[in-house]
Amino acid sequence: MTVTHLVLRYLHISMGMLALISGAGAMIFRKGSRLHRRSGNVFFISMLVMATAGTVISIFITPVMANVMGGTMAFYLTATAWVTVWRKPGQTGRLEVALALLGLAAAVAGISFAVVAANSKNGQLHGSSATFYAIFASAALLGAALDARMIARGGFTGVARTTRHLCRMCIAMFMATGSFFLGQAKLFPADVRASGVLKIPVLLVIGALLYWVIRMQVWPRLRKVSTRVWVRAVT
């Protein structure tokens, strides 16, 4: 292992651990509070460094295209989530356009990897199936399309802005949590793996994502409907 590989590897690992800790803090602390913002900023920086280091390793040192897709998507989701609240409401700029193009590039790369995997003898590319790459490509393409929609509208405000930030941060956190607790399960004792406890952090992130989607998008609409029904009933 070269010095460069060693540095990148431990940078990837250390920043990954920091991302898990700071991401948990950002999810626990009250939204909009100083602790939430600080934890979110640490999560943002550590995720970008972790994703960049992992992607460089997976391209130039130990080629694994599945990790390239994972690193690129983690970088893209974290960056777009952070920029959403960094930018003033109702505004967009060149950075949003650049990140949308990154999402589109990830989609094109995923499609090309899927084609290569499908045409290989064992139906895989670096140990991952064409379906795996197609799923990542679809997610990247959807993200880029939503970026284009936001840019065309001149930026989001209010609930739409908050929902975009929370959803993308939660998905990035889900990727980091799943990669560690499930992807690196071999690091834990056999009894811990057999107990199923490693699934809990991943499920908690999924639960947080569903909670915020329901709270921000579904619950207000249900309240409006129930209010209209109640008004009609009493009148």
In the chain, the number of structural domains is 1
CA angle 44, 45, 50 (to 5 degrees): 100
- Residue pLDDT tens, the chain, 235 long: 799 999 999 999 999 999 999 999 999 998 889 999 999 999 999 999 999 999 999 999 999 999 999 999 999 999 999 999 999 999 999 999 999 999 999 999 999 999 999 999 999 999 999 999 999 999 999 999 999 999 999 999 999 999 999 999 999 999 999 999 999 999 899 999 999 999 999 999 999 999 988 988 888 877 777 677 666 666 6
Q: CA distances (Å), 132 to each of 56, 62, 233, in order?
A: 20, 19, 51
pLDDT at 35: 94
180: CB partners within 8 A, 6+ apart: 16, 17, 20
Q: What separation in angstroms does the CA of 55 have from each of 2, 82, 194?
A: 17, 20, 31
Residue 184 has what pLDDT? 92
Please tell me the predicted confidence (pLDDT) of residue 59: 96
Q: Output the pLDDT for position 215.
A: 87
Q: How far apart are CA 128 and CA 30, in angstroms?
A: 39
Q: Which domain holds residue 184?
A: 3-234
Alpha helices in the chain (DSSP H): 3-28, 34-56, 65-86, 94-119, 130-152, 158-181, 190-195, 199-213, 219-234
What pLDDT sits at residue 230? Answer: 66
Look at residue 31 in the predicted model and tell me its pLDDT.
84
Q: What is the pTM of this model?
A: 0.93
